[in-house]
Chains A and B, each alone.
Chain A
Amino acid sequence: MKILTKEDTDELLGESLDVFLNKASGRLRLVGGTYSIPPDSGRKTALSRLLAYMLLKNSRICVYVSGWGVWGSAENLDLFYGYRRSVGESRPLIEAPVHLFERADEDAFVSILCMVFYFVWDGWVFDVEGKALVRISHDEWLEIRADDEETIKEFATELENYGMPFLAR
């Protein structure tokens, strides 16, 4: 796992991160609808593993933590920063909000994503090739977008098997 600033990410993507996300949101197709994130922490862990299984197949994946501090009673920044320090990262989230994962970083990916879900943060999960995008909201919903029909069907099937509830479709 590497932890990047937004400027590092712009360089990695070849364009501004915000523009990249904006373009990808418009270009990629929605899987199913808007899903409610289950409130149960155990199911959040399972959901993180499911996303790791689906996303970390071929490409490098980024987890961009875009919002925190909204639900103060739900978050534990000490735990999050403690985890980041364990991988040698001492910069605060405001400076380095993007986490880049290779295929071998599945455990780290699940850990970071779990904390995004547990602490009810805003986040974006995307592959650097722009083929898949997950938007996680502090309002406890998420959306998944992908580019090809096969991936969309696969995502939809996996989420259905998982029992992911819809907020809107």
Chain B
Amino acid sequence: MLPASSTPLYYAADMLGSSRMIFNSATGTPCYDADFGPFGEERTYLSTCPQNYKFEGKERDTETGNDDFGARNYSWRFGRWLSSDWSSVPVPVPYANLLNPQTLNLYSMVSDDPESFADLDGHEDTTPAWERSDGQVNPCTGSGGPNDCSAQKPQPPNPQGKLQLSDSQKPPQPPPSDKDGKPTPPPVPVPGCPTCGWKWNPDPQNPRGGTWGPDGWKGANPPSGSWDPDGHWDIDKGGKGPRDHYDPQGNPLTPGQAHPGNAPAQQTMLDRMRSITPGPIARWGTAGVIIYILIDEGSRLYPPRNLVPVP
């Protein structure tokens, strides 16, 4: 950081992004040293270069002591957000993962597990801090671009008042873009043409706004790529072989991984309970448990303990 009319300061952050030490570039000596409690309480040991970027690297308001995470403000005193989570698209529970009930609390900080998770933008996110990379972080970083949170209007937390396990509840993920808000191409080489680059072909008739195609391709079936709002890349190899999916870092995904809401966990709990019907295995399993209990309990009663010689 380069404060106005001052020497540069170098921040050393922990895995959650909290500023733990700051070094003065002129002297190379630490001028700030602090620890943070799990929910953001600051314990300062040294502070000769006062600064406001503290818990998880977010700016702490000097008057209120609250942290500005972008989408919401956070109070470390309560360990809670000062407003409920919200989504730019109407969904039953914003940013909730119904397989993790902790995420249903719209005021809790990273599902009340702040030692494992860091919040990046003020919305619930349970990606472990160590699994994140700079390529997919804060969706609120852009200014005026597709990732500008100020352009999103808060929605009521549960407009339909119903819970469901459909992946349609997952908010659409905006296509990856660079710092200027320009969309970035798929992070994989153009299939069948390693020397080609990706070129954006806008198409207002396409619900995805267009596709990425090879620059300078000659042939009947050009490969193409497009961003799936479920958060991955769909790559068409020009009709050759299976259709591929990649995560934002370019790692291949199976269709089940690409649409986790439709992987095995996609059935509701009720569906799964209903699918458990008493069959022969269940019946014999129950009978086995009863027989085991009878033998086990019987062995405790017979022979009587007071007749067993103590060695």
- CB–CB A23/B226 < 8 A: no
Assembled-state Cα–Cα distance A167/B263 (Å) = 8
Is A120 in contact with chain B by the CB < 8 A criterion?
Answer: yes
Question: Is the Cβ of A70 less than 8 Å from the Cβ of B234?
Answer: yes
Set of chain A residues within 8 Å of B195, measured between Cβ atoms: none
By a CB distance below 8 angstroms, the chain B residues around A72 are: 211, 213, 221-222, 224, 236
Q: How far is the CB of B242 from chain A (nearest CB, A)?
A: 9
Q: Which of A42-92 contact B (CB under 8 A)?
A: 66-74, 92
Which chain B residues lie closer than 8 Å to A30 at the CB level?
A: 266-268, 271
Other-chain residue from B206, B228, B238 in contact with A73 (beta carbon distance below 8 A): B238
Query: B residues 53-106 with Cβ under 8 Å of A?
Result: 90, 92
Residues from chain B with Cβ under 8 Å of A18 in the complex: 90
CA of A141 to CA of B261, assembled, Å = 12
Q: Which residue of A lies closest to B253 (CB)?
A: A139
Judged by a CB distance under 8 angstroms, whether B182 is at the interface is no
State the Cβ distance, A48 to closest chain B Cβ, in Å. Answer: 20
A138's closest neighbor in chain B, by CB?
A: B234
A169 to B267, CA, bound (A): 7
Chain A interface residue count, CB cutoff 8 Å, equals 34
Chain B binding site: helix, strand, loop or mixed by DSSP? loop
- The reply to whether B226 and A70 contact each other, CB–CB distance below 8 Å, is yes
26 contacts between A and B (CB under 8 A): A22-B92, A23-B162, A26-B166, A29-B270, A29-B271, A30-B267, A33-B266, A34-B263, A66-B207, A68-B206, A70-B226, A71-B234, A71-B236, A72-B211, A72-B213, A72-B224, A73-B221, A120-B243, A137-B255, A139-B234, A139-B243, A139-B255, A139-B258, A167-B255, A168-B263, A168-B266
* Given A29-B270, A29-B274, A140-B243, 8 other A-B residues pairs in contact with their CB atoms under 8 A: A22-B168, A66-B207, A67-B208, A72-B221, A72-B236, A139-B243, A168-B262, A169-B267
Q: Which 4 A-B pairs have the closest CB atoms?
A: A26-B164, A25-B166, A69-B206, A73-B239
Mark A residues whose CB is within 8 Å of B.
Answer: 18-19, 21-23, 25-27, 29-30, 33-34, 66-74, 92-94, 120, 137-141, 143, 167-169
